[in-house]
Every structure is written in C-alpha cells, then in structure tokens.
Structure 1
C-alpha cells in the first residue's frame, strides 16, 4: 500500500438528505419517474412495438425455471434489469410508490430463483453455456454484470430497508471471493470490463465486511500485471472468441492491461471501462488511504480533462472500440462519445471531489451532466442517443459511408445493447447525491440545483434551502435554518465559466479576497437561523476555442453560456451549416423562448453564409470566389438538439476574422 492521504476526506451528502425542488431538474427527475422507468420496464419486457427486442426479463424467468425458452441478447443483458432496479431504488428514496416497489419486489423474487446455490448469478451462462462460466472473463462480462446487480442490491436496501436483493448480491460477492484470488484452485484474474470494483466498495460500505473491499483491491492491483492473464485465459480455451468464429486478438490497451494501473500515464482503450476503473480506484483509495492510487487517478484525470474530452463533457473519440484515441484527437462528426462514458466520468469526478474538493472536478461533472447526459435522452423520455456527436449531416450518417453508421441523426427507441438508457435513469434519479459533501465543519456546494438538504455538522443539525436560477441565470440563494447559532463554513463552487462572482450575506457584501480555495468561496461565520446568502455568478456568452493541436476545430469557435454548450441546428438556420460563419466581432444576444423545446435560451447573432450559386458543376475551380451574404444565426443548447425532427447540427462554427 502507498502512504495515507494527507487531507481529511469529504463525505458525500446522501440522497436521503436532499429534496430537489428545482424547476429545470424536476422536469427530468419527474420524467424518469413517470415515463422513463415505466418505458424501460416495458422495453426489457419486450412490450414496445417497433423497438429492438431486449429479452432481459425473460432471460431471468427462463433461468429461474418459470418459463421455457432460449437466452436472448448480449452476454451482459442482465445489467439492463440491474440498472432498472437501481433507478427504481433511487426513486423510492425520494418518493414512496407502493406499486413500483411491488413490481421491483416481484422482479427480485425472480432474480433470487435464478441464482445458483453457490451464489453465482448470470442468465447467459445458466441458460446457454453452463459449463463455460468464468472461462472468458476477457469478453463475457460476468463480473461486470455481477457489479451492476451488486449496486442495485445496495441501492434497494438503502431505499427500502429490505434485504431481499441485498442478500442475493452478498451471495454473489461471497462466491466471487471464493473463485478469485492467488490461492490454490482460484482464478488469479479480473474482468475485461471494469465495474465490479466500485460495486464491491459500495457493498463494503453497506455491510462493513472487509472481504468485499479486499477483493475490489485485488482486482485493481492484479490488472496489468505480467504475464498477461487475458493471454493465459485465451490459451486455456484454445483462443476462441465469444463474438465470432475467429481466434481472439487481445489489445492490452483496449482493456487497460498494458501496465499496472498505478503506472498508466494516459487514458487508453474503451472509454467506459477507463472511467469505471478510475471510479473504483478512487473508492479503494478513499477506504485504504493508498496515495499511489490517488496519484494515478489525478494523472489520468488530467490527461482526460485537458487532452481527450469534448467541450460537451463527452469522452471516447473513436467508434472502433468505443475508445480513446490519442491526445487532442477530437473529431466532431465521427465521434463516439457514448452516453455511458460521460456518466462514468461523472462517477469518477464525484469520487475525486470526496478525496480532494476542487472545483476542477465539479466543473467537469457539471459539464457532462448538462450537456452529454441530458442530450442522451429526448424531451419525451422515450428516445435515446448511444452516441453523442458534435456535428451531424443526416445524409452522411445514413448513407454508404460506413465510418458514420454509428452516428444517428435522431434518438432511438431502444437498443439491443441498451446500457445507456437505464444508466441515464439511475443517474438522474440519484442526482441529489451529487450536490453536496461535508468535511469537518465545512459544507461544500458542488451543483447549484434548487432544493433542501438536512445534515449534521459536529452534532449541529443544519438545514439549507437553495433557490437556483441555473442554467439560465447565475444566482443561487441559500436560506439557513438552525436550532441555535453555529459556526461553520459554507464552501460555494465558483464555476470556471463565471467571469465574476460575488456573495451577499443578509444583504451585505461579503469580501471574497483570499477566501477562494481550490475554486470554492469559503464563507466562514457564526450562522443564525434565518440567515440568507446569495451567490451571484456572471454568465456572459463565451466564445470557446480549442487547443491549437485539436486540428478538427482550427479556425472554429463554439459558444457557451453558464454550464450550457450551444449548437446550430438546421431547424433554425437552414441546411448546409458548414457554409455559416460567425464574425469575431459579432454581437451575441441571449433571449428566452418559452415555447421552444420546453423553454430555452437562444443565442442570436448576425453572421454570414457562403454562397456558391455561380459555381456550376465543376468539382474544383480557380476562377471564382465564394460570395458572402448576411445570415441570422440562432444557437440552441446542445442538450436540446434533435427534438424537432431530423436535421443537421454542429457545435463548432467557422469564425470570420
């Protein structure tokens, strides 16, 4: 183990302590409760006409002996049920729903019947290949699937106090602890898709059983050690692959096994696996005080956030392998930017905030949340993006060019590999758990979302009521309720997008000179019940330009206001968006349009459009110049695009000097 962490860690304020009453976010939370979770239940039960079949629930029924049939779907299809149950659990925390709880209980009973006596639970290997379990960890996601069910079990226990699913997942984890390790007859390996690492830490926190933390640490420590476990495993099964009839080729970087995790210098390979791995590493570091792990987390965070992240908080630029490519390679039209990857980035950021509260983590968490995550779901809650492009031309991504086939110009009803929709649901349902943390007598406010939070500082009960005008305006007002006066610090994040920040306490300006530490304005005083604090953040329209090494954005600019990135869409600006130019000195005006896409702010500017009416049929010419004509440009928030039918979209626009 490394040296213990020098700083006292912060603790997240749990979902149970927070009640969100925010106009902007309540729409999405209510959407998850009223539409998304019921829709996804229908989807995993194969009740949605025209949507891709799921088979997820029927697989459990077949494995439980309740139905006859064959396994359907991907080898990790069980996770759709697990993530649905986890989202249900978070919804039950914030609002009791007897009918929904009964539905979940009935599903959990089926899961219990599908579990084998050893504790093993995986419907694919139970139904289809019972003799091959634990023989292809490289590709078959057994531990990944177990991890999602463990997360669901912990969440459901925390929400309801019921142990039915918790006991199931404890048996899963107990079986894993028997199967894996360096002892005689054990498997000295780990999963191809990281996830179980963070899940086991959650189970450790719920149960207090050190065994679960130790096996999580084992998987992290073992990863990347030589000789290669995946190569040895492949040799043992004749190098067969799960996915086709070819022999397996193992790319260590794709699986993050090219080096031990503490020695990795840059994020490489499958993007979701990277951030799930890092979330697990941060969790283990938090519990064990392993400074070498947290240093590796910092190093890989810096690489992702400063060299491999899109302006929208998306990560993973390559469709091939759903992966990171190399530093500063951020194509906008062939981008992958899987919704799950941004959700995993939020998981990682949230954990880093507990290890060392610093606004750089919360800024990215906010960026990914408001942009990529929200863009991943339509306003109706029934259509979803798996891939989140920053530039779309429908004729191209629906044409013969296979390089663009992964990009969709409209959201889909469901996916055969449906990891993203339930991931969105569980994140939004648990949003209250990402807003605050405490460290000693300091309360950190990471996200400005209206609502109430009740917590205890050194035995003093504190209630904060937050009124937020984000994302449209930059004010957050806090009302403090206390039984008696108490001294504590309220640490308010100053976002990177705020050009100025000011604080007013009980109507009087509070000087922030020397009070901003690691991006948080620390308001230290003896508070009395009824005190009010207002944070005012300037929200100018920002022109954002990329690092010069991002070749795809050379000569282009993007617009951002507050946490929201903006884009041009064909519905407002006509087709051929590549012909539009935004003058460097153009006046940018913000206007609220209540009737547009649920009520949004639109940025308007006078720009130019290239005209090629005299071009003719020649592909290349030297005897003509493109003419310019005035064009009124309208930018909408990126999260709102593709809610008005199929059309072109671009985040980056050419800048006219």
Structure 2
C-alpha cells in the first residue's frame, strides 16, 4: 500500500484520543470498568458462588509448574483470560488504574511462565496432551487460542505501553510462522476456528513486521484449497475427533461448517459456524485493506450482502440454529430456536468496521449500530454479572425447560458459562467503544455512531479537537462542535479546511441538518452527509433524526414472520414481555391501524417504551379446556407495551417476543 493510498483510508482513532461523555453509553463503559472487569476476574479464578467454574487461572498455574493438577475445561479455555486482558488493556488506555494494572501484570507473568522455550503457549496441550501439538487443528482451537493471546497483547501494549505481553505474543507468532507456510517442511494448515488471521493483522499494525501480515494472508488463502488440509489431517488421525475420543467416524467433517469448502475468494454465501465466519470475513477485509486487493474486497462484499440481506435477524444477530451455532440457508430465521450468539454479533461489528474503512457506506454503519444497540448489550444484565450466550427472538420459559430442542434458549441471564466466550467478548468490545464511533483519513472525519464524546485528531495539517453531543437512543438530536483548531505553525491561521461526514441512519425517514443553528443541505453520498468548509472553533454541524416508531416487516420468503410485525424506534428494536402484557404472548396481536406511542417508563426514568392498542385471543365460552373446537376464539381489546429488546429480561422472568401477529 502506498503512503498516498494509506492517507486516504479512514482509520479508527486512538482510544486515548476519544473520551466518551454520553449518558447512555457512558453507563455501559462505567459498568464494564467498575463491575464487569472485577467480576470476571473473580470468575476466572473460580470465586463466583454457584457459577460454572472457569478453570482458566488454575490451568495456567498448572502449566507454569506452580501447582499440581489436571487440565479442566475446553481446549480453548485459555482464551477467556486473553479476552479479559484485552478488555483491561482498552480500559487502561482511557482510565489508568494502577491496582488493576498490577493484577493484569501478574496475570501476564503467569502466561509468560507457562510459555515453552520455543514460544508455544497452550495449557491444554502443555498439561493434558504434551505430545500432540498441531495434530488436530480441526477441533482443538490451537491457532484460535493463539489469536486471542495476540489480540490481548496488542491491546495491553496500546493501553499501557508495556511490551512484556507483546513479547510473549511475538515469540508465539514467530513460532507459528516457522511451522506454517508454503515452504518445504512447513505445515500448510489453518485452524478449524478462525481468529488468528485477524489477530496477526493487529500484530502487524503494532510492530510493522511484514511477516505477520503475510502469515495472515497465507492462512486465509490456504483455506478451502485442495487437497483439503483439515480432511487430510482427520484421515491421518484415524478419522477421529477430539470431541468423541476413540470413536471412528464414517463420514468426513463438513468443511462448509468451517468455511473451508472452497477457497475464500470463491465463497458467496455465509455457511457454518457463525462466529468463525465473521471472524474470517473480518480478516479478509483487513487484508483487502492492507494489500489493496480488489478481488478479496469483492468476496467481502458478496458475503456481507448475503449475511445482512438474507441471514440476519432484525436485532443484528446471526446464527439460525443451535446445531453447530450456525447459519442454515437464506431466509431461514426461526424466532423460538435461533442461536444468535452474542459473540457472533460482536464479530459482525468487527466486519462492519473494516468494511467502513474500505468503503464509507451507510449500510455498514447501520448494521454496526443495529448489532451494538440491540444484541450486544442484550447479552449483559444491568448488574454486569449475568449474561446471555443466546439471544432469541422469542422465549417461552416452559418450553426452554421442557423441550430438548429449546434448552439452549435461556429465560434468564447466567452468572457464567463453562464455555464463557461471550462475557469477556462483551467486555472487550464495550471497553474499546471509542474505536467504533469515528474513523478519519487525512482530511475527513466520519461519525459512524452518535455517542457523546470528545475527540482529538489531525485533519489537513491541523490538530482538531471536537465534541459530539447526542440524545440517542431516546432522542434524535446529535451535533459535532469544533472546540479548538491548533495551527500547524505560528504563521498559520487557527482555522482549517476539512470535511465532517455524518452517517444518515436508514431508519430516519426524514433528516434535517444545521450549521451553527441554520439549516444547511450537505452532500449526501452512500448514507453519509458531507460538509466541507473552512472550520473555526465554535462551529457546529448538527443532525436531527426522525424518531417516529416504525413497524418492520420481513421479506415474503422469511416464513417465520409471515403475518407478523416488529417495532423499532430510532436504533432500538422493541420486544413484548409477559411482565407488561400477560401470557401467553402468542395470543396477542397488534391492529394494523393502531397508533404506536412513545411513552416514559415507570420502571426506569431514562427509558422510552412503546404503547399501543392490541387484541388478545382467548378460548370461546363453553369450550374451556378443549384442545380443539369449531368455535373461533374470542377477541378482547388490550393495551400493549413494548420495551427495548436490549433491556428485556431485567425484571421478572417470563415470556418475550419480538415479532407479534398483526391483525386488520
């Protein structure tokens, strides 16, 4: 990539140059820093009563020779600690905390003590299977775990300036680089669970070492080529899986599940495990960005279109089935059995941000916003100590308990999980929220999210300080104000010509703009409003969004939602809970002509609810108790109340649904 091209590519701002000052999102950032990070440290040390044990710290202590014992947990148990450290690194970048840093430094020393002389780090293979390294990439997540170590190390380096963890990561990456590649004697392999690829790009960005970028490229390009490495590895292993030791399998593993059924440049539909897919797409977009690779970008566009236009839920979640936590096929989006893993929406946000760097288009920002405001924050309770792994569109607690096909759907958030990938994933995303609000190139600042904040950055030779004010998600007003412009030299003026670009959300039916309080018509292009001028301190560019509640309808091929409607106001999708509406929710319908009113909440003063008139169906008189009958159900009018989906499940346990039947 030429220096000129690099200057034109928008990049996220350094976390230290963005300070979030937002009544809505500030509470989440504070929750992560003050509650979630300390709570998760206790969970990693198995000190949370009545929660599933993590084993993570204990496994490292055993691997480091500090205590005796056997490995416990999944093959990838180490990654919970790595993601926690990544969250800590981001948090320390914006809120230095010597006590937290000391705890993290000690955890890093524990990881370093568990590292082998050749750079290898993995407690499962060190403790449980010391002679079987790199023999089961399909199942055992070795490179996936290495990727999370690298991501944690890069974040901690950026947050603290310390290189101890980064040195551990580089030694491990160098070890992998020696083992894997196209040269004679090297393994032409890749992991069954993608993650290393995007992590290596981050390591390249942090160190400027091109070998890491090339290793990431090799991992992506090798995937799905014939002869298929993962199938050959499975044959060499005697056709066995780590998930079922000793059992000889009759059929080879399904490569589409691992997105290894064909080379990535030839893929055009999302298949298989949803998290693996979006992590891979993120790395593909990273490589397209760094290498200026139009062919790889074209593949990213095809996959983005398929995911978001045919396989994404209205709350920005993905993964239609709990069988493999996976995509199924176009328009197959069931409401009561979907998986919609929190991690998958986080991965979709990663993908969206990279696509925004490649092409500042509103569709990418819209999906980023949808997933962030709805699924990601739904994955964590208001107390910061309970989490959803699965984010369903519909919950019937009795069915969750009594139907084996719905056991994965939890009616209440859990304290922790044996497979606890989602809780620390939420922590690392929300503690790095400043990375997602803005991107900028040499002369343009893009505002992708309307989150109150202050930012400092260079624009066209000036050092610019600006502040954003936002009333979202409850109100529709936002503005960017130039607080200061520092001239490049004593002779230069204290003004500067550059561009501010505001995303125009697709949910806003009518949008108005103003410059210093006066109406202005910016240039609208691909969902962004561009205003270029000679800016001065005190100038303000504002946007007013339409917050009228809207009915949402599905594509005609999406069978699960035929005859149903969902509600959205601003960036928030809404849901109906039993607490407000009674049970069964399936007996309710919303009249097509009913007015949908935004009303304050008695539950929380800062929350806007939706209120409307609806209908409840009940058994006809005289047929009480009959399973079937010829008489139609009786209809009674009922006031319906909907709450933001992200907040469901924070009161009494009960039924929930996003899609409600619509009646005439």
TM-score of the pair, normalised by structure 2: 0.96
State which of 280, 285, 305 in structure 2 corresponds to 1:277: 280
The alignment status of 1:523 with 2:526, answered yes or no, reads no
**Conservation of the 8 A alpha-carbon contact between 1:51 and 1:414:** yes
Pairwise mapping of residues 511-550 of structure 1 onto structure 2 (< 5 A)?
511-512=521-522, 515-550=523-558
Pairwise mapping of residues 323-472 of structure 1 onto structure 2 (< 5 A)?
323-399=326-402, 401-472=403-474
Name the structure 2 match of 1:266.
Answer: 269
Name the structure 2 match of 1:494.
Answer: 504
Pairwise mapping of residues 23-34 of structure 1 onto structure 2 (< 5 A)?
23-34=23-34
Name the structure 1 match of 2:491.
Answer: none
Q: Deviations over 1:85-118 (max 9, x none)?
A: 0000000011110000000000000100100011
User: Quick one: distance in 1 between partners of 2:605 and 2:82?
Assistant: 31
**Conservation of the 8 A alpha-carbon contact between 2:141 and 2:191:** yes
Shift of 1:611: 1.6
Name the structure 2 match of 1:295.
Answer: 298
User: Quick one: distance in 1 between partners of 2:31 and 2:248?
Assistant: 45
User: Quick one: distance in 1 between partners of 2:268 and 2:201?
Assistant: 25
User: Quick one: distance in 2 between partners of 1:307 and 1:418?
Assistant: 29
Q: Deviations over 1:240-289 (max 9, x none)?
A: 21011423440011010111000001000000000000000111111111
Q: 1:114 to 1:6 in 2, by over 3 A?
A: closer
Shift of 1:6: 12
Q: Secondary structure at the match of 1:557?
A: strand
Shift of 1:458: 2.5
Size of the aligned set, in residue pairs, is: 650
Pairwise mapping of residues 472-483 of structure 1 onto structure 2 (< 5 A)?
472-480=474-482, 481-483=484-486
Shift of 1:608: 0.8
Name the structure 2 match of 1:310.
Answer: 313
Q: Secondary structure at the match of 2:347?
A: helix
State which of 500, 504, 513 in structure 2 corresponds to 1:503: 513
Shift of 1:637: 0.1
Q: Deviations over 1:221-253 (max 9, x none)?
A: 000001111111011121221011423440011
**Conservation of the 8 A alpha-carbon contact between 2:620 and 2:632:** no
Q: Secondary structure at the match of 2:368?
A: helix
**Conservation of the 8 A alpha-carbon contact between 1:198 and 1:276:** yes
Question: RMSD between aligned alpha carbons?
Answer: 1.4
The alignment status of 1:655 with 2:638, answered yes or no, reads no
**Conservation of the 8 A alpha-carbon contact between 1:473 and 1:539:** yes
Name the structure 1 match of 2:641.
Answer: 634
Pairwise mapping of residues 584-595 of structure 1 onto structure 2 (< 5 A)?
584-593=592-601, 595=602
User: Quick one: distance in 1 between partners of 2:312 and 2:79?
Assistant: 27
Pairwise mapping of residues 153-302 of structure 1 onto structure 2 (< 5 A)?
153-245=153-245, 246-248=247-249, 249-302=252-305
Q: Secondary structure at the match of 2:614?
A: strand
Q: Deviations over 1:120-178 (max 9, x none)?
A: 10000000000001000000000000000000111111111100000000001000001
User: Quick one: distance in 2 between partners of 1:275 and 1:143?
Assistant: 16
Q: Secondary structure at the match of 2:24?
A: helix
Q: Deviations over 1:39-63 (max 9, x none)?
A: 1000010001100011001111110
**Conservation of the 8 A alpha-carbon contact between 2:442 and 2:458:** no
Query: Which range moved further: 81-90 or 228-237?
Result: 228-237
Shift of 1:617: 3.3
Shift of 1:439: 2.5
State which of 565, 576, 584 in structure 1 corresponds to 2:573: 565
User: Quick one: distance in 1 between partners of 2:555 and 2:349?
Assistant: 23
Query: Which range moved further: 521-530 or 556-565?
Result: 521-530
User: Quick one: distance in 1 between partners of 2:7 and 2:563?
Assistant: 43
Q: Deviations over 1:501-536 (max 9, x none)?
A: 111111211024xx1011000011111111122211
Shift of 1:7: 11
Shift of 1:599: 2.9
Name the structure 1 match of 2:628.
Answer: 620
Q: Secondary structure at the match of 1:131?
A: coil
User: Quick one: distance in 1 between partners of 2:460 and 2:540?
Assistant: 22
Name the structure 1 match of 2:564.
Answer: 556
User: Quick one: distance in 2 between partners of 1:6 and 1:540?
Assistant: 40
Shift of 1:183: 2.1
**Conservation of the 8 A alpha-carbon contact between 1:569 and 1:649:** yes
Name the structure 2 match of 1:104.
Answer: 104
**Conservation of the 8 A alpha-carbon contact between 1:475 and 1:536:** yes
User: Quick one: distance in 1 between partners of 2:314 and 2:359?
Assistant: 24
TM-score of the pair, normalised by structure 1: 0.97
Q: Secondary structure at the match of 1:149?
A: helix
User: Quick one: distance in 1 between partners of 2:379 and 2:548?
Assistant: 26
Query: Which range moved further: 446-455 or 180-189?
Result: 180-189
**Conservation of the 8 A alpha-carbon contact between 1:548 and 1:554:** yes
**Conservation of the 8 A alpha-carbon contact between 2:80 and 2:424:** yes
Q: Deviations over 1:9-68 (max 9, x none)?
A: 211212121000100001111110111111100001000110001100111111011111
Unmatched 5+ stretches in structure 2? 487-493
Unmatched 5+ stretches in structure 1? none
Shift of 1:598: 6.5
User: Quick one: distance in 2 between partners of 1:209 and 1:493?
Assistant: 34
Q: Secondary structure at the match of 1:449?
A: coil
User: Quick one: distance in 2 between partners of 1:495 and 1:234?
Assistant: 47
**Conservation of the 8 A alpha-carbon contact between 2:457 and 2:463:** yes
Q: 1:84 to 1:523 in 2, by over 3 A?
A: same
Q: Secondary structure at the match of 2:500?
A: strand
